[in-house]
Protein backbone atom coordinates (compact mmCIF):
# COMPACT_ATOMS: atom_id res chain seq x y z
CA UNK A 1 0.00 0.00 0.00
CA UNK A 2 1.26 3.48 -0.86
CA UNK A 3 -0.11 6.87 0.14
CA UNK A 4 -0.19 10.01 -1.96
CA UNK A 5 -1.34 13.37 -0.69
CA UNK A 6 -3.11 16.15 -2.57
CA UNK A 7 -2.50 19.61 -1.15
CA UNK A 8 -4.38 22.81 -1.98
CA UNK A 9 -2.41 26.01 -2.04
CA UNK A 10 -2.70 29.77 -2.37
CA UNK A 11 0.36 31.56 -3.64
CA UNK A 12 1.61 34.82 -5.09
CA UNK A 13 3.66 35.19 -8.23
CA UNK A 14 6.64 37.51 -8.19
CA UNK A 15 4.44 39.91 -10.17
CA UNK A 16 1.89 39.99 -7.32
CA UNK A 17 -0.80 37.82 -8.95
CA UNK A 18 -2.78 35.48 -6.66
CA UNK A 19 -2.91 31.81 -7.66
CA UNK A 20 -4.56 28.75 -6.20
CA UNK A 21 -4.34 25.12 -7.17
CA UNK A 22 -3.61 21.54 -6.20
CA UNK A 23 -0.32 19.68 -5.94
CA UNK A 24 0.38 15.98 -5.43
CA UNK A 25 3.27 15.66 -2.99
CA UNK A 26 4.50 13.60 -0.06
CA UNK A 27 4.71 16.55 2.37
CA UNK A 28 4.03 20.26 2.81
CA UNK A 29 7.76 20.86 2.47
CA UNK A 30 7.70 19.21 -0.95
CA UNK A 31 4.79 21.47 -1.96
CA UNK A 32 6.74 24.53 -0.85
CA UNK A 33 9.77 23.39 -2.85
CA UNK A 34 7.65 22.79 -5.97
CA UNK A 35 5.98 26.19 -5.72
CA UNK A 36 9.26 28.03 -5.18
CA UNK A 37 10.76 26.24 -8.21
CA UNK A 38 7.76 27.53 -10.19
CA UNK A 39 8.53 31.05 -8.92
CA UNK A 40 5.44 31.14 -6.70
CA UNK A 41 5.46 32.31 -3.09
CA UNK A 42 3.35 29.95 -0.95
CA UNK A 43 0.87 31.75 1.31
CA UNK A 44 -1.41 28.91 2.42
CA UNK A 45 -1.05 25.15 2.03
CA UNK A 46 -3.47 22.56 3.37
CA UNK A 47 -3.99 18.85 2.96
CA UNK A 48 -6.96 18.20 0.68
CA UNK A 49 -7.04 14.43 0.08
CA UNK A 50 -5.13 11.28 0.90
CA UNK A 51 -4.99 8.64 -1.82
CA UNK A 52 -4.33 5.03 -0.89
CA UNK A 53 -3.11 2.55 -3.50
CA UNK A 54 -3.63 -1.17 -2.87
CA UNK A 55 -3.34 -4.24 -5.09
CA UNK A 56 -6.02 -6.88 -5.67
CA UNK A 57 -7.56 -8.00 -9.00
CA UNK A 58 -11.08 -6.58 -9.51
CA UNK A 59 -10.87 -4.35 -6.47
CA UNK A 60 -7.58 -3.00 -7.78
CA UNK A 61 -9.16 -1.89 -11.06
CA UNK A 62 -12.07 -0.28 -9.27
CA UNK A 63 -9.74 1.52 -6.92
CA UNK A 64 -7.54 2.64 -9.81
CA UNK A 65 -10.53 4.30 -11.48
CA UNK A 66 -11.62 5.84 -8.18
CA UNK A 67 -8.13 7.25 -7.68
CA UNK A 68 -8.12 8.65 -11.22
CA UNK A 69 -11.48 10.31 -10.54
CA UNK A 70 -10.12 11.81 -7.30
CA UNK A 71 -7.03 13.16 -9.02
CA UNK A 72 -9.09 14.70 -11.82
CA UNK A 73 -11.67 16.09 -9.39
CA UNK A 74 -8.91 17.69 -7.34
CA UNK A 75 -7.84 19.70 -10.37
CA UNK A 76 -4.95 17.63 -11.68
CA UNK A 77 -4.88 17.44 -15.48
CA UNK A 78 -5.48 14.07 -17.14
CA UNK A 79 -1.93 13.43 -18.35
CA UNK A 80 -0.22 14.10 -14.97
CA UNK A 81 -2.92 12.02 -13.24
CA UNK A 82 -2.37 9.08 -15.58
CA UNK A 83 1.39 9.44 -15.25
CA UNK A 84 1.11 9.32 -11.46
CA UNK A 85 -1.07 6.21 -11.64
CA UNK A 86 1.30 4.59 -14.13
CA UNK A 87 4.26 5.19 -11.81
CA UNK A 88 2.28 3.77 -8.91
CA UNK A 89 1.48 0.60 -10.90
CA UNK A 90 5.20 -0.01 -11.39
CA UNK A 91 5.67 -0.18 -7.63
CA UNK A 92 2.75 -2.54 -7.11
CA UNK A 93 3.65 -5.20 -9.70
Q: Tell me the per-residue pLDDT of 11-35, one tens digit each, with 9 for 90 and over.
A: 999 999 999 998 888 899 999 999 9
Angle between helices 78-92 and 57-73 in degrees, nearest 10: 150
Q: What is the DSSP string of 18-65?
A: EEEEEEEESSHHHHHHHHHHTTEEEEEEEEEEEEEE---HHHHHHHHH
Domain that holds residue 56: 2-92
Report yes or no on whether pTM surpasses 0.85: no
Total of domains in the chain = 1
Is a pLDDT exceeding 80 seen at residue 82? Answer: yes
Between CA 30 and CA 69, with CA 12 as vertex, the angle to 5 degrees is: 55
Least confident of 16-20, 24-28, 52-56, 83-87: 52-56
Amino acid sequence: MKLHFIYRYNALTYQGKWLSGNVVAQSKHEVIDQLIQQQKLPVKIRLYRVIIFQNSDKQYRIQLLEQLALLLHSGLALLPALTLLKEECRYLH
